[in-house]
Every structure is written in C-alpha cells, then in structure tokens.
Structure 1
Amino acid sequence: MFVFLQLRFVAVSLFICGALLREAGSFYLPGLAPVSFCEATPGDREPGAECQLFVNRLDSVESVLPYEYTAFDFCTDDKLKRPSENLGQVLFGERIEQSPYKFSFKKKEECKHVCTKNYDTNKAEDKTSVDFLKKGMLLNYQHHWIVDNMPVTWCYDVEDNQKFCNPGFPIGCYVTDTGRAKDACVVNSDFNDKDTFYIFNHVDITIFYHNVENENSGSRLVAAKMEPKSYKQSNPETPDCTGPPMSLSNKGTGPITIPYTYSVHFKEEPTIRWASRWDYILESMPHTNIQWFSIMNSLVIVLFLSGMVAMIMLRTLHKDIARYNQMDSVPSTCTPLTYTEDAQEEFGWKLVHGDVFRPPRKGMLLSVFLGSGTQIFIMTFVTLFFACLGFLSPANRGALMTCAVVLWVLLGTPAGYVAARFYKSFGGEKWKTNVLLTAFLCPGVVFADFFLMNLILWGEGSSAAMPFGTLVAILALWFCISKPVTLTTSHQMYYMFGFLFLVFIILVITCSEATILLCYFHLCAEDYHWQWRSFLTSGFTAAYFLVYAVHYFFSKLQITGLASTILYFGYTMIMALIFFLFTGTIGFFACFWFVTKIYSVVKVD
C-alpha cells in the first residue's frame, strides 16, 4: 500500500508541476515549443526562413531490419552534423539525419536538382550498391522524412473513394517478370515493363501553414504532405521533371545514372491549429473504427464477467456465508444427531478456508515473478498515464521508451519489496537468494535475448543495432541503479494513448475477474492451491499472445530471410515473457484480495 501511495503522490506532484509550467507559458504540451517561420525578403534571409528536412531510418513490413538513410546511397551532405539522440530513439533504432533537401519558407521550388548518382554495374562496388537499392525496392522499404518535427505523409486514394495517409513513402517498386505490378507500382499505369524496378527519384512536397494570431509576423507549419514520382531526366544536371519513369532493368548491366529532384509548395491552412497539427496523420485511416469495435467487444466481455463476479459476491457467496455462519451458531445443547446432520452440510470452500494461506510449492520462484510483475505493472500504468496527459507525445521522439526504461530502473524498489514480502509470508528463509533472483532472473533472461538479437542486427548492418556505448549504459543503469534499489528492500514503461490506456484498464479488469471466478470454483471444489493457479490462469494470456503472434507471422506478414524471422520471434518471446509476468501478477493480486476477503468474513469456530 505504501508503494501505491508513494506513486500516487509522485503522479499528482508531476501533474501539478506540469500544469504550473503550462500556465507560466514556458511549457507546451505535448512537450515541444512551436517554431515560427518568416518569409525571406530579397537579399536578406530571415532567421526563421529556412525549413530543414530531416530523414529517418528506412523500414519495411516485409523485413524487421531497418536501415539508415545512408545505407542506400541517397543524396547526403557530409558537412551536416547528425542531431543528438536520446535513449528511446536509440532503442527504437531511429537514426535522424539532416538532409540536403533545403528550402525557404513560402518560396516555391520546381524540379530542383539535389544530386546525381552514377553507377557502373561492371564494377563490384557499384554493383553491390545497385543490388542493395533493388533489394530495398523489392522489399518495399519506406522513407520517413520529417519537417518541423512532423512526419511527411503520402496520401493516396484507395477503395470506396477513401484516402489513406501513410507516414512514409517507398523507395520504389517492382513489376514482376509476369507483368504484375507490386506495391506502389499500381499507382502509375506507366510502370508496365516486366522484370523492372522503378525508383521514386522525385518528390512533390506540399507544406501547410497558418499565420499566428495576435502577431504581426511569423507562421507555423501544421502539415506536410508529399507525392513520390519517377522521372528519367533527359539532362540530369538541368532536370525538367518530364518524360518516362526512371526504370532499372533487373538483369540490366552497364552505366546507370539516377538524378534526384524535388518540388515544394506552401499553402495556407487557417483551419488547423498548431496544437492539433498531428491529427492530419490519422485522417481517414480505417484503424480507428477497428479499434472502437474491438474495445466495444471487450467491454461486453467485461460487463459479462462483472455480472458473474457480482452474482458470486452478492448472491452465491453471501448465501454460503450465511449458511456457514448459521451452522457455527448452533447451540451446544443440540443433540448429537442434529449436530451430525448440520456438520454434513459443511462443504465447499468453508472446509479449506483454514488452508488457503499455506505456503505454495516453489514459493521462491512465485515471489520473484510477483516482484518482477509488479515492477512491470507500475511502469506500464505510470507511462500510459503520463502519455495520456501529453507528456510523452510522439512529437517528442523517443520520450515514451526513455520514460519506460527509466521507470523500470527506478521501480526496482517495489519489485524487491513485493518479492521479499510474499517470500516471507510463504515462510521462506533464504532472503538473499530471493533478492538476487528478483534482481537478475527475469531481467537477465530479457537482456540475454535482447543481446542475441542485437548481435544479429550488428551482423546485418541494421540501424536498429544498439551501439556498444549505449549497451554499456543500459548495463550501468541495470547494475548501478536498478539492482541496488532492489537490494535495499530485503525487508521492507502507438501513438493513440487514449485507446491504449483504455485497453490497459479493460485487460486489468478482465484478468482480475476471470481469475476470481476460477479461484472461487476451485475453492468450492475443496482445492486450496490457489497461488500458482491464479498466477498461471491470468498469465496464460501470454500463451494466447504468442500463438496469435505466430499466426500473424504466417498469415499477415510477408517477412523473408532467416535473420528477420529470428528477430521477429526473438522479440516476440521477450514480449510474451513480459506479458506473462504482467498479467500473472494482476491475477494473483486479484485472487489474493478475494481469498483475504472471504477469509475475513467467515466466523471461525
């Protein structure tokens, strides 16, 4: 109880501090201050006139290996310095870099040349670069560009006159040797040559802005959209963005010239405010309706389970308690025959109520799981709570993962407390072993799995591979902060956060009520071994998660390659373990409350 009161105090304090800062005008939810841009005057560049375009890693739905922007030999500016990255960005494999795409605010550009890449496939080095570029197009790798901390989205028409917006756009596409257009090749009827790759070497960028109210000058960017195109320029150094698409024959050899160009337009949009500028990314996306349907379906299940639990608590359990109390109040003057008949009526959980707090088997392991599960539960709750308030907005890149990791490290205190408390209640005496296992068992399994996955990412040259320095920093946080605070209690961490928090609450209620139901049924069957059963009953949700992940891999995803497959299942196993500890702890505490409740209301002879 002390731990939860402490967390509540911290949460309220941080919320009040955030509110005071916001009122003071020095803090902007979701965590970043707006930037005002000014139109450049002839012969004089204003400080806020230049709009910088940043590039992020490239990823694909057909591979779990992300790559840095430079891995595909796109246009770069070696003089530019890479922005600093926080811990969350490194863990997510984000590699944000400055790009050579630069433009001034409100200055229109048409078919501006960026760079020209020349290859000769007769040379081994150039052939490797071209083959890697073709592989990226074959696996549908996507660019992710950023302007004023906003993703540049690609919106295109889909079925039923709807528009789909994707926060990224592909490198290119491929038409098979049978003439079937894959992925983005379906958007252009000119992409019709068989066994040919088409590279999107031109982008039309449209940036929306609105003028700041109550200010004489300055505007704020509220949306950024683009449309990828392909042009085979007749003169690469002076392009005109006309002509046939830029094609690369799959079996072609010899010199290859790829010019990269862009156009940019600015458009005033007075209806969108800066505070809601991220909303355009979600426009007309079908996921919202699916999520609401799933949530309503889950709510129906929760209501059904709540009705079942209410029926047990208010009717069945109440009747049982009344009958048992009536039997306990039988006067001593009753005849032996009457007492025997009444005693024969005694059955069910009343017979085992004195045994429900017997130490379970493998109490050491159960207490360790409960400590780790408590750590994960509090981390998840606090992270989602602050995310819903806007402190961990996706505009503040990497903040969500950074917050989760730091909270997990600091929450070693409640983990050690819960593990030691329950181990002591189980009659355990090896408290040192209990503390060490709490500190190293579950985190050690996760770290070992993560380290093996990171070795594979290193070998594949992926941007998701954690640098050695960051890996050492994570180990330092684990050993120097998380483990000591665990030892001090030997005796005493999707952008729709609202949806996610609501699903979190539904999950907690569902696991709790389902575990209480099954716990009551087993007690009525005179089985008092509820500790492990309650943990495994709720924790079995992780098995469903694992089975669904396997089904999703084979039925929905198009991941190819041994490394991608190993990475997918490796990270899935980490999530399954975390989910097992998380849901198992919820079920145990729900059943613990239930057993304590019925134990306290029964009048023992």
Structure 2
Amino acid sequence: MGRKKAMVLVAVLVAVFLLCFGIAGVAADASDHRYKAGEPVPLYANKVGPFHNPSETYRYFDLPFCSPEHVKEKSEALGEVLNGDRLVDAPYKLDFRVDLDSKVVCTKKLKSEEVAQFRSAVLKDYYFQMYYDDLPIWGFIGKVDREGKTDENEYKYYLYRHIHFDVLYNGDRVIEINAHTDPNALVDVTKDREIEVEFLYSVKWRETSTPFENRMDKYSQTSSLPHHLEIHWFSIINSCVTVLLLTGFLATILMRVLKNDFVKYAHDEESAEDQEETGWKYIHGDVFRFPKHKSLFAACVGSGTQLFALTIFIFILALVGVFYPYNRGALFTALVVIYALTSGIAGYISTSFYFQLEGTNWVRNLLMTGCLFCGPLFLTFCFLNTVAIIYSATAALPFGTILVILLIWTLVTSPLLVLGGIAGKNSKAEFQAPCRTTKYPREIPPLPWYRGTIPQMAMAGFLPFSAIYIELYYIFASVWGHRIYTIYSILFIVFIILLIVTAFITVALTYFQLAAEDHEWWWRSFLCGGSTGLFIYGYCLYYYYARSDMSGFMQTSFFFGYMACVCYGFFLMLGTIGFRAALLFVRHIYRSIKCE
C-alpha cells in the first residue's frame, strides 16, 4: 500500500516540476527576443475596458479603431484565455531601432454611432493594453474635460488620436517601452456626428545599460518600495503578536488547566473509584463517537486536504520565481493543472477516512468528494460565463477552452480521484481512539447561548482574520485592480501564521466545548476552523463598497461570484486544518488519563 502512495506522490511531484519549466517558457513569437536593426518586433493589441472594472474587458477592435480587413489572432495558452487575454496583431509597426515621426495609421470616417461608442468609452475611463516583445503597454483612449463646469451636460469628451512610443534597447534586445498620448492631438466626440479622424503614431528609440534579465524589475518595484515594505512587515509583526498572544494564552491557561485536570482525575481514581466523573473525562465514552453525516464530513476533509496541497504547490512555484510580473496566464494554468493533479489526494484522504469512520458506501463518498468544491465552482462559472457572453466581454471563455477544461477534468481529475479512492479503500487503516465508545450517547447538558455553534465560529474566525487582514488589501488590489504583487515570501509567512492561529484557536475552543461536556466536537472543530473564510467574504463587501471604484452588474457578479468560490475553498482548507489540530489534541488528552 505504501508503494501505491509513493507512486502517486512521485507522479504529482514530477508533473509539478514539469509545470514549473513549462510555464516559465511562455514567450512571444520571437522566442530568443533578439532582433536586428529594421527587423519587425511582435506587437499585439490585447484588450480595452473600464479602468476600475478589471473583469469587464473587451477585444481591442470592439472599439472602432483602425483595423485591417483580416484581424490575425495570436494563439494563446490556457492560462492566457482564462485571464481574459485576446491578443491580435496591432495596427502599429515598431521595427527594431527604427524611429518614426507622426506616421499615419489610417484616416477613418467615424459614423455618429461610432462617435457615441468612443464617447461612452471615454466617459468610463477606458484604457487599452498591448504587448510589445512580451512587455505590457497601457494608455487611456481619451479624456473628459470637466474644468470650470459643474453640469455633466457641459462636459467635453476628447479622443486621443496620436500615440508616441518610447522604446529602450540594449544591444539586440528590447528592454522597456512606454506609450504616451499627445494631449494636443485630440478629437472632440462630445456630439453625435460624422467626423473624419486621422490616427497617428510615432516611435523614438533610445539605448540603455539595463540588462535584459532585469527588464521586468520595474513592474515589481512598487511592491518593494520602502513604504509598502514597511506596511508588509507591519502586517507580519501584527500577525506574530497575535500568534504569541494566542500561544501564551494556551501555555499559561490551557496547559495549566489541563495539568490540574490530570492531577484531579489521577487523585479521584486513587481515592474513590465509584466517584462520579465531571468535566471532559466524564464524556470519554462519547468523545470518539463518529459524527453525523460521516460521508459529507470525510468529503470535506478530503477536499480541504487537496486545497491545502494545491496552495502549498502554488507557493512553491511563486517562491522559485515562476509568477514573475506579466507572465501571462501562468497562475491560472498552474491552478487548473495542479488542482487536476492533486485530485488523487482528495480521493485517498476522503475514502480512507470514511472507512475509518466505518462507512460502507465509498462510491457515494467519492462522488461527493469530487463534486464538493467543483460543483459550486462549475455552477458559478456557468452563470458568470453567461453574463460575460451577454456583455461580449473577453472573460467569456471560447467553446474550445471550455472543452479543454472538460477534457482535463475527464481525463486527469476524475481518474486520479478514483485511483486515490481505491488506494484509500485498500489502505485498511483503523481509527485510533484511546477510549472505548459506549453503546448509547450521553445527553448534552443545556449550554449558554455563547457556546452555540455560530458564536463559537465568530470567535474562532476573528483572530485568524485579524492576523491577515492587512495583507488582504494588497492581494485584493492585485487581483481586482492594477497593482502587482511580488513579495510572495512575506505572503507565505502570513499564510503559515494563519495556519498556526487557526489550529490554536480551534484547539482552545474544542477544549472548552469538551469541558462543558459537549461531545459533538467533530463538526464544530471543522466549522470553527473554516469560519475565517466567512470573515474574508465579509471583507469582500467592505473592499468592494469602501476601497474600490468597481461598478456595474458584470463586475459585481464576477467579484462576488468568484470570491465566494475562493472563500469557500478557504473554508474547506482551514476547516480541515482546524479539525486535524483538534483531533490530535483530543487524542492526546484522552490518552493521558485512565478512561476504563
């Protein structure tokens, strides 16, 4: 049986390492990034959209820019498509080290409805994004003149018609590119009327000493500025203080109480064997009574373990430098592939634990495990993809991409889940309980309201959330904004602290529950451990309405829809951590006393 486990683990590790090298190799058509003077350098137009709505993006030529008769699309990797990238050949030609002064792209007669389309885009702060030799370029397509005007009807709307490109090179390689719009080359699109627009661009090349290997550094500098680093370290210090306070609480209070309990129970055994037991020892015949809905419980533990393994592998890839700035789609590719590869972990853990709980219908348990996280994620995706299709946004996945994901789920995720389930079924592991369970359960005494499940979840989730909430802002600003997050080492430290605090607070609450002679701790420990996910979703509400400028039905749907899936994943993962910590604790204290 150990051989089968080892084979599964080796397969997962090999696949992850292959993924590391594969993702790192995503590049432009010019794979070596070396060019001769006058040689064309690939320039792709990607997308346009409202600056404050990162999910609401559209194809570049959805706006009536100068476009060729046949738009040539660039073939993209899975992660790029999932990221909403739709790269096409741009109308600008920036040959290597060739300066241009005001070259005409095209002269286009805009119809009144096209003018209205541009005006609406300018009003919503539309930006464009391009990639030149894999380097990102941004710029706004126009501006609104509000100076000296209080009535919106008096605003003037202008479209930029001239883009100037500043390109830096070192030897035969492109190092940096910036796009600037000419504030003097404007077209008034305030009124619906037919106008003729001459779109222009210019290019200026300059030499630099920056080496090619460091050309991406400027995109990660904002995360490394002293001010931001100071806040990140403050976040870690805040988290460490939380951990120290919590561990201090456990060391001075909980361990002392446990020591007194052990002494008391040992004295009771020596003085009067027929004396009635009280406290957590009183329920030793019920504490290891298996939970209700054991199939669902085992599925939750299996799925949570898989998500924990997925998170660890993602951190490994991040720490070795795979997710460097603008490595398009690398994170999404890694999430899809590693989730598929780790499904065997979910199958093995869920089924083996289900059999330890004396379950019999392991096939139903395996189906429940496979659908527990994927099911809600699939339903959310179907709804949001439909919304994106209605909006004609690039977030709408093409049929081919959906087919690829279904094939991955069919050919990789499902078989590995089944193989893991079979391995778990054949593991023949038994549940290790230091106390014998009685035939009939004891009645749980009436408890005050604050010992109920929901108040306990609120107490359990607050401390772990307080340890990470500062770092959450930067993560949200990166995922749902235009900031770049690169300090993965700090994020990993915060993640470890989150796990420690979750485990400790769950153990503490489990002890107080057992001391109150409430032996139904299994589900309670899982719910308390996972309650941080609910706090994170509450922070989503605060971030959306107080810290961001996102708006519109599509952006709101995408934000709260996908964040619900992320927070649900955190709930399963941290719930598993909390339950495992509580299980170790309960086994330890009941092994330390004489229960028979």
1:526 aligned counterpart, secondary structure: coil
Counterpart amino acid of residue 281 in structure 1: Y
- For 1:189, the equivalent position in structure 2 comes to none
- In the alignment, the residues of structure 2 paired with residue 14 and residue 306 of structure 1 have an alpha-carbon distance, to the nearest angstrom, of 38
Matched, 1:350 2:281: yes
Per-residue CA deviations over 1:464-516 (Å, capped at 9, x if unaligned) read 10112222222232233322322231414x54233433332222222222212
Residues 17/284 of structure 1: CA separation in 2 closer, same or farther (3 Å cut) = closer
Per-residue CA deviations over 1:205-254 (Å, capped at 9, x if unaligned) read 2222334xxxxxxx33232223223444xxxxxxxxxxxx33321xx132
Counterpart amino acid of residue 568 in structure 1: F
Equivalent residues in 2 for 1:60-79, closer than 5 Å: 60-63=50-53, 64-78=55-69
Matched, 1:275 2:206: no
Deviation of the 1:312 alpha carbon: 5.6
Deviation of the 1:197 alpha carbon: 1.3
- In the alignment, the residues of structure 1 paired with residue 52 and residue 326 of structure 2 have an alpha-carbon distance, to the nearest angstrom, of 26
- For 1:402, the equivalent position in structure 2 comes to 333
**Segment drifting more, 460-469 vs 319-328:** 319-328
- In the alignment, the residues of structure 2 paired with residue 546 and residue 17 of structure 1 have an alpha-carbon distance, to the nearest angstrom, of 34
- In the alignment, the residues of structure 2 paired with residue 453 and residue 561 of structure 1 have an alpha-carbon distance, to the nearest angstrom, of 13
Whether contact under 8 Å (2:506, 2:529) holds in the other structure is: yes
Counterpart amino acid of residue 151 in structure 1: P
Matched, 1:225 2:178: yes
Structure 2 gaps of 5+ residues are 427-477, 479-484
Deviation of the 1:67 alpha carbon: 0.7
Match for 1:293 among 234, 258, 263? Answer: 234
Please report the TM-score for the alignment, with normalisation by the length of structure 2: 0.80
Deviation of the 1:537 alpha carbon: 0.7
- For 1:59, the equivalent position in structure 2 comes to 49
Equivalent residues in 2 for 1:95-494, closer than 5 Å: 95-121=86-112, 127=113, 129-152=114-137, 168-176=138-146, 179=149, 194-211=154-171, 219-232=172-185, 245-249=186-190, 252-270=191-209, 272-284=210-222, 287-311=228-252, 315-325=256-266, 327-328=268-269, 330=270, 338-339=271-272, 343=275, 347-488=278-419, 489-490=421-422, 491-492=425-426
Residues 255/206 of structure 1: CA separation in 2 closer, same or farther (3 Å cut) = same
Per-residue CA deviations over 1:37-90 (Å, capped at 9, x if unaligned) read 4442xxxx5xxx322222222233443321111111223344563221111111
- In the alignment, the residues of structure 2 paired with residue 475 and residue 56 of structure 1 have an alpha-carbon distance, to the nearest angstrom, of 26
2:105 aligned counterpart, secondary structure: strand
Residues 247/254 of structure 1: CA separation in 2 closer, same or farther (3 Å cut) = closer
Counterpart amino acid of residue 267 in structure 1: R
Deviation of the 1:178 alpha carbon: 6.6
Deviation of the 1:580 alpha carbon: 1.7
Please report the TM-score for the alignment, with normalisation by the length of structure 1: 0.79
Whether contact under 8 Å (2:118, 2:159) holds in the other structure is: no
Identical pairs, percent: 32
Matched, 1:35 2:26: no
Counterpart amino acid of residue 474 in structure 1: I
Deviation of the 1:300 alpha carbon: 2.2
Deviation of the 1:308 alpha carbon: 2.9
Whether contact under 8 Å (2:43, 2:132) holds in the other structure is: yes
Residues 111/318 of structure 1: CA separation in 2 closer, same or farther (3 Å cut) = farther
Deviation of the 1:180 alpha carbon: 6.5
Deviation of the 1:586 alpha carbon: 1.9
- In the alignment, the residues of structure 1 paired with residue 31 and residue 499 of structure 2 have an alpha-carbon distance, to the nearest angstrom, of 37
2:94 aligned counterpart, secondary structure: strand
1:50 aligned counterpart, secondary structure: coil
1:84 aligned counterpart, secondary structure: coil
Whether contact under 8 Å (1:61, 1:558) holds in the other structure is: no
1:55 aligned counterpart, secondary structure: strand
2:376 aligned counterpart, secondary structure: helix
Residues 132/317 of structure 1: CA separation in 2 closer, same or farther (3 Å cut) = farther
- For 2:453, the equivalent position in structure 1 comes to none
Counterpart amino acid of residue 269 in structure 1: T
2:395 aligned counterpart, secondary structure: coil
Residues 276/506 of structure 1: CA separation in 2 closer, same or farther (3 Å cut) = farther
1:246 aligned counterpart, secondary structure: strand
Counterpart amino acid of residue 196 in structure 1: K
Deviation of the 1:435 alpha carbon: 1.3
Match for 1:558 among 530, 535, 549? Answer: 549
- In the alignment, the residues of structure 1 paired with residue 63 and residue 299 of structure 2 have an alpha-carbon distance, to the nearest angstrom, of 46
Residues 274/321 of structure 1: CA separation in 2 closer, same or farther (3 Å cut) = farther
Structure 1 gaps of 5+ residues are 22-26, 122-126, 153-167, 183-192, 212-218, 233-244, 331-337
Matched, 1:88 2:79: yes
Residues 478/30 of structure 1: CA separation in 2 closer, same or farther (3 Å cut) = closer
Residues 477/302 of structure 1: CA separation in 2 closer, same or farther (3 Å cut) = same
Whether contact under 8 Å (1:539, 1:587) holds in the other structure is: yes
Counterpart amino acid of residue 567 in structure 1: F
1:593 aligned counterpart, secondary structure: helix
Residues 51/583 of structure 1: CA separation in 2 closer, same or farther (3 Å cut) = same
Whether contact under 8 Å (2:136, 2:326) holds in the other structure is: no
Give the number of aligned pairs.
Answer: 528
Residues 429/282 of structure 1: CA separation in 2 closer, same or farther (3 Å cut) = same
Whether contact under 8 Å (1:58, 1:142) holds in the other structure is: yes
1:359 aligned counterpart, secondary structure: coil
- For 1:567, the equivalent position in structure 2 comes to 558
- In the alignment, the residues of structure 2 paired with residue 311 and residue 6 of structure 1 have an alpha-carbon distance, to the nearest angstrom, of 44
Counterpart amino acid of residue 124 in structure 2: L
1:261 aligned counterpart, secondary structure: strand
Counterpart amino acid of residue 446 in structure 1: L
Whether contact under 8 Å (2:73, 2:87) holds in the other structure is: yes
Whether contact under 8 Å (1:54, 1:147) holds in the other structure is: yes
- In the alignment, the residues of structure 2 paired with residue 452 and residue 372 of structure 1 have an alpha-carbon distance, to the nearest angstrom, of 23
Q: What is the root-mean-square deviation of aligned Cα atoms in Å?
A: 3.2
- In the alignment, the residues of structure 1 paired with residue 585 and residue 533 of structure 2 have an alpha-carbon distance, to the nearest angstrom, of 23
- In the alignment, the residues of structure 2 paired with residue 366 and residue 278 of structure 1 have an alpha-carbon distance, to the nearest angstrom, of 46
Counterpart amino acid of residue 494 in structure 2: V
1:102 aligned counterpart, secondary structure: coil
- In the alignment, the residues of structure 1 paired with residue 350 and residue 96 of structure 2 have an alpha-carbon distance, to the nearest angstrom, of 58
- In the alignment, the residues of structure 2 paired with residue 520 and residue 117 of structure 1 have an alpha-carbon distance, to the nearest angstrom, of 74
Deviation of the 1:118 alpha carbon: 1.6
Per-residue CA deviations over 1:493-542 (Å, capped at 9, x if unaligned) read x5423343333222222222221221222222222222111111121112
Matched, 1:519 2:510: yes
Residues 566/391 of structure 1: CA separation in 2 closer, same or farther (3 Å cut) = closer
Whether contact under 8 Å (2:49, 2:56) holds in the other structure is: yes
- In the alignment, the residues of structure 2 paired with residue 401 and residue 56 of structure 1 have an alpha-carbon distance, to the nearest angstrom, of 18
**Segment drifting more, 501-510 vs 306-315:** 306-315
Per-residue CA deviations over 1:374-417 (Å, capped at 9, x if unaligned) read 22111121122112112343453212211211121222211112
Residues 388/78 of structure 1: CA separation in 2 closer, same or farther (3 Å cut) = farther
2:315 aligned counterpart, secondary structure: helix
Whether contact under 8 Å (1:539, 1:579) holds in the other structure is: yes
